Chains A and B, each alone.
Chain A
């Protein structure tokens, strides 16, 4: 839901950092002290004197005043993506390739989880953490796997902390993650429209627009959202370089994040990392609008159910039994 049409005419186009002529003069007109002060607050630490006039500082300044992703023109999206790439290089020496790929036409993503097949190996969790550059310090995980007793179908009755050899006789396993609800309570709650459902059904967060109030997290009935309580830490050699603006780029501190169905992969026609990693084939992902897709086959021929159906959130994530 857009509140305003993009005001690209009366606002200056965000130029690329190489040709930041008007911006540069704008910045120069501000006092250095005020600028350095805001930079100090932005990162929470005091920059060195020479950093105040540096390229990094200018990029961060421009990043600070950018718009909500949904109000950006394609040029503005390209510009911010290039700034973020450059900042990753300047700050961490990382050569990342970021995109802002739009949703594919005629696609609505859906997911199905085969509780007969899953044996609780958690390869999906490892792959997800790696692919999505999740914080290693606090061990952030989008996917949770619960070891379930027979006779139960609600993950809250299962054990989400198991640490032993799997599969265990007479137990079964259920995975949870963000269910990308059609009627998502989280997007309704957000006071700044920093999170929304994309046309291809993926619920995303604009990490730079999020103010970190965590109302969406309180509103989510599935524990689908994770907050960056501190600055996320990913070892340099483990960073996934192919990133998406709305996907697996390394999040700033104090912002909400969540599963994006690996938007950086799926919008290029690839499978999410968890689906690809699953050794038992318990995970099915595909286009709900394509009658020949595997997900449609599952929905048509298997007995499926969704979690907390009574809440009316309409998750696009089904469990099924072979």
Chain B
């Protein structure tokens, strides 16, 4: 560690980079693997840039696919950081105060992934500047997509700058001035809800798609996000607890489990409500749900997908709720993992693709992502993980060092 008086913004950045480049053999291999996956994503994207989105599985009927599905899901993961921010900063919960920085790191990584998914989905990425106010035209407030651009970028700024300020203060051995960052924390709490509601409104506001044009969409987004996000954060905390000297209290895991259980149960309740509406008296507007759950005209590629998701979701929620292993991490961590996967399956592909099927003119096709979409997506995941690990590694070193003062 440098002596305090030598520390400034320049050394802050240098040190963060240095800490992240050092590490054991396993850590370096992990970094190399991530780098290789990002390279794979770049290679696939170069292919897509050259031949157009024709190299994806999308078409005029299913015009959004794997990219937008993942975008939608990771907005939820990003929003879920509020479940740590709220108790940590507002209720001054001492347990959460130690881990809130990790939640914020996950949020930043998730947001970068979201924005990258949007970028790779654009047919004209070089025209993306047309979205920027003043030099382009920003169709605000008419277009919900314009709203989404505002809320996602705003949330990214809030979630990056508040922790950066706090960490920088701690890096220099000073306490962060709460009066300075508290207003932004307040804003970011409302903002977290807004990113998810606005993303839901993106779909909810389309009368052309009855499957999405459903007032439960926004609230259900929130419930599923507040289950999947904390589940991911639990897994990240478990990794940190077992592989770094930064130890996480048991109570943190217990509190997170409560949050996950409550959200997952509300999510399942809303799912039940939706399924009831679609199938008690099926109308023309139920055909997307029929396609999703039972298949239509011989097209049934999503049927095993959605039933797997619902089944896994149900079982992991029950496991988390009844806690059969009495807080045994060997039971709870896999349950968190499977809950996360189940919600990813349902809130991603299971939400986006059936919205387009059958088409407004009654046509049904099956959508399957191609190797390009899969590789680009893997590359973006690797980018997200890279960002999260960089941020968290730096944050933990600074926090531990600060605790020593």
A residues near B (Cβ < 8 Å) are: 1, 3-4, 38, 41-42, 44-45, 64, 68, 71, 138, 144, 146, 154-158, 160, 176, 185, 188-194, 208-215, 217-223, 225-231, 252-256, 311
Contact = CB atoms under 8 A, between A and B. Distances in A.
The main secondary structure of chain A at its interface with chain B is: loop
Contact of B126 (A42, A154, A190): A42
Contacts of A252: 124
B231 to A, nearest CB: 29
A1 B141 CA distance: 12
A212 to B, nearest CB: 2
Nearest to A1: B142
Contacts of B127: 208-212
Contact of A218 (B63, B126, B142, B363): B63
A218 B206 contact: yes
A212 B52 CA distance: 11
A217 B65 CA distance: 13
The main secondary structure of chain B at its interface with chain A is: loop
A214 to B, nearest CB: 5
Contacts of A212: 53, 122-124, 127
Most chain A beta-carbon neighbours within 10 Å: one of B56, B60, B63, B124: B124
The 8 tightest CB contacts between A and B, nearest first, are A212-B123, A156-B362, A254-B123, A230-B54, A221-B208, A229-B54, A191-B145, A44-B50
B143 interface: yes
Interface in B47-62: 49-56, 58-61
Interface stretch (B130-138, B159-167, B255-263): B130-138
Interface of B: 49-56, 58-61, 63-64, 118, 121-128, 130-131, 136-139, 142-146, 149, 202, 206-209, 284, 355-356, 358-363
Nearest to A214: B63
Contacts of A71: 137
Contacts of A209: 127, 130, 137
Contacts of A223: 60-61, 359-361
Contacts of B355: 218
Given A192-B138, A214-B64, A254-B52, A144 B361 contact: yes
B291 to A, nearest CB: 13
Given A155-B362, A254-B122, A311-B208, A211 B130 contact: yes
A68 B53 contact: no
A253 B144 contact: no
B358 A156 contact: yes
A211 B123 contact: yes
A62 to B, nearest CB: 15
Contacts of A254: 52-53, 122-124
A170 B333 CA distance: 63
Given A211-B127, A212-B127, A160 B363 contact: yes
Contacts of A194: 130
A38 B137 CA distance: 22
Nearest to B48: A44
A157 B355 CA distance: 18
Nearest to B363: A160
Contacts of B138: 3, 191-192
A279 B197 CA distance: 51
Given A191-B131, A192-B138, A253 B123 contact: yes
A211 B128 contact: yes
A229 B361 contact: no
A185 B52 CA distance: 26
Contact of A222 (B123, B124, B360): B360
B359 A255 contact: no
Given A185-B207, A213-B121, A221-B208, 15 more contacts: A3-B137, A44-B50, A44-B51, A64-B126, A68-B130, A160-B361, A185-B206, A185-B208, A211-B130, A214-B123, A218-B356, A227-B123, A229-B56, A231-B52, A311-B207
A229 B58 contact: yes
Nearest to A208: B127
A71 B177 CA distance: 47
B358 A68 contact: no
A234 to B, nearest CB: 16
A144 B61 CA distance: 13
Given A156-B358, A223-B359, A218 B208 contact: yes
A213 to B, nearest CB: 6
B60 A217 contact: yes
B139 A190 contact: yes
Contacts of A188: 142-143
A318 B137 CA distance: 34
Contact of A213 (B122, B207, B359): B122
Contact of B361 (A38, A146, A253): A146
26 contacts: A3-B138, A64-B126, A138-B54, A156-B362, A156-B363, A188-B143, A189-B144, A191-B146, A194-B130, A211-B127, A211-B130, A212-B127, A213-B121, A213-B122, A218-B208, A218-B355, A218-B356, A219-B206, A223-B60, A225-B60, A227-B53, A228-B52, A230-B52, A231-B51, A253-B123, A255-B124
B358 A191 contact: no
A130 B93 CA distance: 68
B282 to A, nearest CB: 15
Most chain A beta-carbon neighbours within 10 Å: one of B131, B356, B361: B361
Contacts of A3: 137-138
